[in-house]
Structures are given as structure tokens and as C-alpha cells.
Structure 1
Amino acid sequence: MMATPLADAIRPKSLEDVVGQGHLLAKGAVLRRLIEQGTSANLVFYGPSGTGKTTVANLIAAQTKKRLYRLNATTASLQDIKDIIADVDTLLAPNGILLYLDEIQYFNKKQQQSLLEFMENGKLTLIASTTENPYFYVYNALLSRSTVFEFKPLVAEDVEVAVRRGLSMLQEKAPLPLTWEEGVPAQVAMACGGDVRKAITALELLYDCTEAKQGAVTLTCEDAEQLAQRSAMRYDREGDAHYDLLSALQKSIRGSDPDAAIYYLARLLEAGDLISPCRRLLVIAAEDIGLAYPQAIVVTKACVDSALQIGLPEARLPLAEAAVLLATAPKSNTAHDAIIAAMADVKRGKVGDIPRHLQNVHADSQGQKPTQTYKYPHVYPNRWVAQQYLPDNLVGTQYYHYGENKTEQAAQRYWEGIKGE
């Protein structure tokens, strides 16, 4: 219907029209003050798609009166950067250049370095955006010359403001009278996963697919729901969202919250990811439940094997069983802490010689008097005898500390009784 996509047509022309991001753009917020003062600072905008990064960059360009160039790092080359820099100090860019570089994480180190000289002398202002953590993907020298601002996913109420603005614009441009059922704006806003662009695109598609009846067009909640199915999912198996979900799953289980554990498991499975939750549940069983309930890893392994054998969608059942079991099980990370501490000592060079009596008996030369004095515990009372096991330089070091759960407490009482501690 519209020559310009609706998402571009309704793009805000002032800070007051930007929805959400109050922590950045509210009156008195740092980024807002920088924009109002006509900042020439180099900026990195970090956050999910459709949260206003491009919109704010456009507003900064208008405020500074610099010539705006846009590049997307997924398709741009080093030559594209050179072509833009060639306009510095020419009549094409008398006030300097503002380069908006989208998805900067796709630029390699050499491409990012090519911008540094012109950022240093102030002739080029860079606003880079990324959906990934910039501290992992952006070259350090470039980061040190920039200020990072994080854009948050929008709540449905913020997105609904933009949806209603889009509906008003459609209503003005539509050749036939346009109305909508009361719940349509909220339905579209709720289903977009905090992405305004996705919401407005869905709204435009909803209008395009709705047939006129009796000389008018009415958008329905039923059609909006069908178009919105699965659109709220934010998931990239190589991106931050993937690891955030897995982290949330593990922390919910560690915190003994079965409802949150099931919720994050559902999000992973709904995105079609079966392998990642299987692997993470096995890790959780060892790391967070551990010796408090040693059978947990056995049950979890059986659930994981079953899930991988039957596949989705039925795999959700054994994985849900494992998630609830782990969330409601007693917790212990004593084995986890013990191996971390031991490996830290090894990395620090605390290796020492293995005590002679623990070395392989075949190390003794044949025909010579054995020098080993190893005591075989099974021939002693209670199958235990005192002897040195750690290297000399680590004698007395304690890596494992008994947990407070009943399983480890029982083991502690057992061994203290035998060892006379």
C-alpha cells in the first residue's frame, strides 16, 4: 500500500517520539544530554534488533548537521570505508562525517582499524551498533575511543505506542475506511518480543492480508494472532540470547525454582534447540546438585538419552522431568569447587613429585630391592590406613570440603569416625 515501508515511515523525528529506552533518553539522562548538546563523541550502541539504535543515530546526525553515511558490516568492504573517508574535508561534508556502522561485529580487525586515524582527529564520528556484546567483538583500540550504551528490549506497553502510531498512519493513507478490534494493538505489540520494527512489519502485513468487506477494512485479533505465532522468539544459537537462556536455565535450577527452570527450558525447545539444553542439564547435575544427590546425574543422563532418541516434540517430556528433578533436588557444588581449586594449583606450577609409594610398581628395577612402601588399604581395618598421597609441597592442602546436605554429612561422619578425627 505504501511506497515506503511503514516501519521507516513512522520512524521518530524527535527524542520525544522514541518509545522506551528511558534509562538512556529520559530528561537528564546522559545520552539525551549528549544528543541535545550536539555531541561529536564516538558511540557504540549495543542491544537487540528493533529497539531504536538506528533511530537514535539518525537523530544525532540531524542534531550535529554532519553528513550521514550508513554501512552494514555484513556487506560493506574496506573500499566502502575508503570511499567515505575520501569525502572528509570536501564540500560534500563541510561539517565532517557521521558514519553509522550497523552490525560492527562482522568487521574484522583491519577494517575496524582503518577508522581509527579519522576518529582521532575528529573528522569522522562513528556510531556503531551491534546485537552482540561489544566487549567481545569490537577491537579494543576502537572501544577505548568510544562510549558504549546498552539498549534494552522494549516492554509490550512501549511497543503498543508505536503500533498505535502505525495504525493511525495506515488509517490516514488507506483508500478505504480502516478500523480494528480493540485487542489488535496489544496483540501485535505483545507478540514482537520487544522489537518495534518486527511489530510494525507485522502490522503492515496484517493490513495487506485483510480483505475489505462492505467497503471497509477491519483488522481482527484472530488474524493478528496467526501472524504473530512464534514471532516473539529472540534466538540465535551463536549469539548472546542463546547463552542468556542457558544461563537463566542453570541459575533457575541452582536457585531451586522449578517454574523458572521449566519456562527457560520451554523457550529453548520452542526455538527447536534440543542439544544445548541436554548438555546443560548434564552439567547442572554435576556442578550444582553433585554429591548432595549423586543419582541425579544418572537420572538426568537417562532423560537426556531418551530425549535424543525420541526427538522433538516428545523430547520435552523427559527433559522437563530432568529439569524439575534438578530444581527440586538438594544442592552441592563441593566437587565443582574442589576440582577448580586443584586445577588452579596445577596451573600455578604446584605439581610436585608423586610420592614414591604411589608410583607404578613396575617403575622398580627388576632384581633390585623394592623401594616402594605402599600400604594396601583393603588389608587394614575398615579398609583405611594413614599414608601420604599428595606431593610433599602440597601436604595438608584441602581441596574438598564436605557440604551441608545429609549425604555428604553422613560421609563426613563415617570417615571422621574411622580416621579418628
Structure 2
Amino acid sequence: MNHLLFESLIEAPLSYRMRPRHIEEILGQQHIIGKDTALYKMIMNGHVPSILLYGEPGIGKTSIATAIAGTVDMPFISINATTAGKKDIEDAVSTAKAEGKLILFIDEVHRFNKAQQDYLLPHVERGLVSLIGATTENPFHDVNPAIRSRCGQIKELRPLTKEDIKELILRALSDSERGLGHLQISITEEAIDLISSSTKGDARSAMNVLEDVVLASKTRDSDVVEVDIELVKECVENKGFSHDKDGDLHYSLLSCLQKSIRGSDVNAALHYLARLIEGGDLVSICRRLTVIAYEDISIAAPEVGVHTVAACQAVERLGLPEARIPLANVVIEQCLSPKTNSAYKSLDKAIEDIRKGNIGEIPDHLRDAHYSGAKVLGHGVGYQYPHDYPNGWVNQQYLPDLLKNRKYFKPKQNGQEKYFSKVYDRLEQLQKEGEK
């Protein structure tokens, strides 16, 4: 085999070489740049608007930018906001002035500093520079509003499908100019499918795996690269799984977990729990499960709160991988428990009254009377001690006069809350009878 061919593979990664050169070569993302979209039509007419692209790593943000530049045949400069300085922006603007127009791609645009922004944005407004920003974070949370306001389109990329990844692999295997087509590669459909399905819609990861597999299959005594399925399995292990505990994806997964439990979907909840466990942030999982126990299940099944706290304590003591066991137990229990939000919603109504100034004076008979002179002020006078009465209840006013008839709590009929509802209704009835 010609060893120079393998040396050429190392010079530029396959993922870089196989980036689309034209928007027609873009895989997936049809909701962003399909032939019926406004963005596609603008680009085909030679106009490149300033846009923000966000999504997980490896799903095509940089590829879309380079393909756009290749389609309109405009100067293209790519920088990373984490390493670029103001001088890089100045150089880009100078190039734009010399060439007439420029596409400036800024990766990690959420890290763009104020000095860079203040220099660049006037040139974006004038149309001298078309800004394409890319970020893995939610731009509505993390990207400076000044940058967002200059970008006419904000597009969320979706992970590529298994079919998209498979098509990219086949392109790389057949492309003799940029890919691996100049090599005699023997690879089974099973191996291609394994790479396609194991890289979770991450094109860069799929290309890296394919290149690793080919380079690892190289032998000195054969012109054919024989790809072994076991070697593929080794190379795809843990590939394509990305999880940033400080990123937007992490909080989206926590949100999905809570909403799946709230909706009593056990299988969905276990799916999102598994993804969070693979991310390794047990603290966030336990915190969210504790919130769920009191926000979504609450007094419909009060024991779930106790069980959740106990499970989280076990998680802290056990660590992974054993921590997954109590987590599985409590997530399934939470899913299948009755749900209510009436408790905290009732409190929220009371807090709303307080913030609006609907407070009133504390009734004198409820005021602290554990000091000399309290009776002179009328504090504690007339208070009726419930334990001195049959059934431990006595009809007396507790709310201030201003809020005497205010009702915050409206019980539902779910689980244990049915019992609380009956008690609540009975007490209200006794109170009305005592007022007659």
C-alpha cells in the first residue's frame, strides 16, 4: 500500500475535508436551508443575511457557514470568539473593505467580548460584513442582545439522522478527491450502520470514527483495507455522547425529566435519567427529583418526598454506578404516583397578596403574649387554645380582618389529597356554622 496516502489522511482530518462546499451538499437541516426555505432562496440569489446558528457540537454549524460562502463565492473568514482579539476583527473588516463584502463566521459567539462587538456591529449594520455566529448555547440566554438584534435569523440545528450520517459515510468512502475513495476499503453494511447509529447525529464524530477505523485497519502487506467489525465496536465506544453540565442541553434534559415524570411517562423519564446519569452530574439530578417530589406530587402522595430524600442520600453515599439503582426506584415511583400542584400554587397566591400590600393587621388574640404587659396591650387576650376543645379544633379567626374570607387553597381529588380535601371542606363547614 502507498504509505503516502495514509500520511495525507493525517494532514487534514476527514471531518474537515468532507465539509460541504455548496448548500446543495448540506446533509439534514432542511428546516433551515432546504430548497423551500427563505434562507436557501436568499443565498441562491446572492444575499447572505446575518444569522445565528445554535445546536449541539458536530451537527453542522461550521459546515453550513462554509457551504454558504462557497455558494455565493464571497470571501470567508472564520474565527473563534474564545481566542480571537480585537485585531482579528479589525483585519476582517479591512478585508471586507478591500473585497467589497465578507462573510465572518464566529464560533462560540456567546463568548464575544464588548470590544470586539463594538467594533464589528456597525459594519454588520452597514451590510459590509455578513455575520454568521455559532454557539452550543441557547442564544436567547447566552448571546449578547446587541448581537442577536443584528441577526435577522436565529436557527436551531437538529442532530442528523442515522440516514444522514450513513449518506455522509458513503460519500467519504467514494470521494477520491477529499475522502477515502482512493483507497481500497472493504467495509460491511453492518459496520457502516454501527458507525451511523452510534455517533448520535454528530457528523464530526462519525467522520473521526471512520478515519480511526481505516487507519487502524492499515496493514503493510495488503493493498486492501479490511475493516473488522470488532475494531469498529471499539472505536465507537462512547462516541457521539456529549453532555455539558453547564450548557443548555443539560438544563433541557433536566426539564425533559421533570415533564416526563409530571406526565407519568415512565419510559421517557428513564430515557432522560439515563442521559443525565451518563453526564455524571448526580447533584443536579437529585436536586431536580427533590423539587419534583414537592412541586408535582406534593400532598397527593406525601410519602414520595420522604422516599426521594432517602434515595438522594443513598446516591450521595453510593456514587456511580450503584447510584443508578435508587435513582431508578424513585423515578419510577414518582412517575406512577398521583400528582398535584395545589400546595405551592396556594402559597404563590398568598405571596402575591403580600407583595401587593394586602396584609392587614395581625389579630390581637394571635399576637405574642409571652411577656409582662402583653395583656395591657390586649395581646393574646381571647385566644382559644385548640387542644382544650373536643377534636382539637375551635372556631376562631386567624387571618387579619382585611383578608378574613380569603381562600388560597383549592384542593384537588388526586391520591392522598382526596383525604385532605375532605378535612378541609369539613373545617370550612364548621367555620360557617360557627359564624351563624
TM > 0.5: yes
Q: SS in structure 2 opposite 1:89?
A: helix
Residues 29-55 of structure 1 show CA distances to partners (whole Å, capped at 9, x for unaligned) of: 122112112223211111122222212
Change (3 A) 1:393 1:35: farther
Gaps of 5+ in 1: none
- Residue number among 77, 84, 100 corresponding to 1:76 in the alignment: 84
Residue 44 of structure 1 contacts residue 149 of structure 1 at CA under 8 Å; is this kept in 2?
Answer: yes
Q: Does 1:8 align with 2:27?
A: no
CA displacement at 1:179 relative to structure 2 = 0.6
In structure 1, the partner of 2:211 is: 204
Of 283, 286, 309, which aligns to 2:291? 283
Q: Indicate the residue corresponding to 1:377 in structure 2.
A: 386
CA distance in 1, matches of 2:375, 2:350: 38
Please tell me whether residue 354 in structure 1 is matched to residue 362 in structure 2. yes
Q: Output the CA distance in 2 between the equivalents of 1:15 and 1:369.
A: 82
Q: Which residue of 2 aligns with 1:334?
A: 342
TM-score, normalised via structure 2 length: 0.90
Deviating above 6 A after TM superposition, structure 1's stretches of 4 or more consecutive aligned residues are none
User: Which residue of structure 1 aligns with residue 67 of structure 2?
Assistant: 59
Moved more, 342-351 or 395-404: 342-351
Give the corresponding residue for 1:165: 171
Contact 1:23 1:29 in 2 (8 A): yes
Partner of residue 160 from structure 2, selected from 154, 163, 167: 154
Task: Tell me what 1:122 maps to.
Answer: 127
Between 209-218 and 294-303, the greater mean CA deviation after superposition? 209-218
Distance, in Å, in 1 between the alignment partners of 2:322 and 2:283 is 14
Distance 1:38 1:354, change over 3 A: farther
Amino acid at match of 1:241: L
Quote how far apart the aligned CAs of 1:171 are.
4.3
- Amino acid across the alignment from 1:386: N
Query: Is 2:347 aligned against 1:304?
Result: no
| Equivalent residues of 1:96, 1:124 under 8 A apart | yes
Distance 2:117 2:228 in 1: 48
Aligned length: 416
What's the % identity of the aligned pairs? 37
Give the drift of 1:79. Answer: 2.6
Residues 102 and 129 in structure 1, CA contact (< 8 A), matched pair in contact too: yes
Change (3 A) 1:382 1:161: same
Q: 1:404 to 1:189 in 2, by over 3 A?
A: same
Contact map agreement 1:364 1:370 (CA 8 A) in 2: no
Q: Residue type matched to 2:347 in 1?
A: I
- Report the CA distance between 1:336 and its aligned residue: 2.4
Q: How does 1:195-344 map to 2 (within 5 A)?
A: 195-212=202-219, 215=222, 216-344=224-352
**Of 125-134 and 333-342, the range deviating more from structure 2:** 333-342
Provide the residue aligned with 2:3 in structure 1.
Answer: none
Judged with a 3 Å threshold, the aligned counterparts in structure 2 of structure 1 residues 104 and 364 are, in CA distance, closer, same or farther, namely farther
* RMSD after superposition: 2.1
Q: Return the match for 2:416 from 402, 407, 410.
A: 407
- The CA deviation at 1:211 is 3.8
Distance 2:294 2:19 in 1: 50
Change (3 A) 1:37 1:407: same
The answer for the alignment partner of 2:434 in structure 1 is none
For 1:40, the equivalent position in structure 2 comes to 48
Report deviation, 1:131: 1.0
Structure 2 Cα separation of the partners of residues 390 and 198 of structure 1: 63
Q: How much has 1:141 moved relative to structure 2?
A: 2.4
1-side partners of 2:378 and 2:405: how far apart?
A: 27
Of 183-192 and 139-148, more deviation after overlay is shown by 139-148
| Distance (Å, rounded) in 2 between the aligned partners of 1:283 and 1:417 | 30
Deviation at 1:410, TM superposition (A): 1.7
Q: Secondary structure of 1:361's match?
A: coil
User: CA 1:212 to 1:382, structure 2 compared with 1: closer, same or farther past 3 Å?
Assistant: same
Q: Contact between 2:172 and 2:181, CA under 8 Å: does it hold in 1?
A: no
2:138 — aligned with what? 133
Q: 1:178 aligns with which of 177, 180, 185?
A: 185
1:152 Cα deviation after fit: 0.8
Alignment match of 2:104 (pick from 87, 99, 105): 99
